[in-house]
Amino acid sequence: MGLLDKQFSDDNIVITTAEDLFNWARLSSLWQVSFGLACCAIEMMATSASHYDFDRFGVIPRPSPRQSDVIIVSGTVTLKMALRIKRLYEQMPDPKYVISMGSCSNCGGPYWEHGYHVLKGVDRVIPVDVYVPGCPPRPEALLEGLMKLQEKIRNESLVKKSA
């Protein structure tokens, strides 16, 4: 379901539902918090750069969480950083989404047993929408994760609360 499968009844007029319009607007301009943690952040930056071009999905890094729609947790979440991530997430305006990128952020990764300083999964502090596996995930994998998130937003309802 998108905008363009609806009938054009006249020039410059598109008929759609408010729900579809909002969802389309939201999923087409996911501004991300300009924020990275570890080696995953390098892949995230590569995804933003010209070769993979995150911008074609409307993803632009914003310098403030108050202007952002999505936070990509790209890397090892230490216990020290977890408190800051929680605060960043709380500072974002609704609707807000979380992509957990890489094994560390998904479940602690290689630090799962002896990482005395690592939070074993960012979902212990903030709710995650999409998990991207990999160590680190290639830019293609992150793009796939973003498209999964877009799919999720496309099926959201204004009245029915999701997740």
- Give the one residue of 46, 82, 91, 134 binding another protein; rule: CB under 8 A: 82
Helix (H, G, I), strand (E, B) or coil at 99: strand
By CB neighbour count within 10 A (0-12 exposed, 13-18 middle, 19+ buried), where does 92 fall?
buried
Is the Cβ of residue 83 or residue 147 nearer to another protein in the bound state? Answer: 83
Amino acid at 22: F
Query: CB of 138: closest distance to another protein in angstroms?
Result: 26
Is 102 among the residues that bind another protein (CB under 8 A)? Answer: no
Is the Cβ of residue 66 or residue 87 nearer to another protein in the bound state? Answer: 87
Is 108 among the residues that bind another protein (CB under 8 A)? Answer: yes
How far, in Å, CA of 82 to CA of 78, rounded?
6
The length of the chain, given as a count of residues: 163
Pull the structure tokens for residue 122.
């960012």
Is 59 among the residues that bind another protein (CB under 8 A)? Answer: no
- Give the one residue of 112, 133, 151, 162 binding another protein; rule: CB under 8 A: 112
Non-local CB neighbours of 62 within 8 Å, separated by 6+ positions: 31, 32, 33, 34, 68
- Give the one residue of 14, 42, 79, 158 binding another protein; rule: CB under 8 A: 79
Non-local CB neighbours of 142 within 8 Å, separated by 6+ positions: 43, 44, 47, 72, 99, 101, 132
Is 120 among the residues that bind another protein (CB under 8 A)? Answer: yes
Binding window for another protein (CB under 8 A); candidates: 20-28, 38-46, 51-59, 74-82: 74-82
The helix (H) or strand (E) run that includes residue 26 is helix 18-28
Is 123 among the residues that bind another protein (CB under 8 A)? Answer: no
Binding window for another protein (CB under 8 A); candidates: 16-24, 35-43, 44-52, 116-124: 116-124
Binding site for another protein (CB under 8 A): 79-80, 82-83, 107-108, 112-113, 116-117, 119-120, 124-125
